[in-house]
Amino acid sequence: MTASRTVRIGSSHGLHARPAKLFVQRAKDAGVPVTIAKDAGAPVDATSILAVISQGLEHGDYVTVTVDGPSAESVLDDLADLLSTDHDAE
């Protein structure tokens, strides 16, 4: 099963090193293919820290996260929650 969701980046400084690392680790832990794409851009592998950071995601940007696997919806819920949280406020 494949599921996609559009999510707004919540971290006030965007998806810089620390929140990107959290996102990439969570995507890796899911054990299923995960991609992330900014606006209408080409999707990149969400388990690659370099690919994710290269997207240049800023606060308020919209991204589409796509998960392919039997637990796609629950993985998507988890990743969407992580992306929409302001990790710079902690």
Catalytic residue numbers, as ranges = 16
- Non-local (6+) Cβ contacts of 80 within 8 A are 5, 7, 65
Q: Are 65 and 74 in contact (CB under 8 A)?
A: no
List beta partners, residue 37: 64
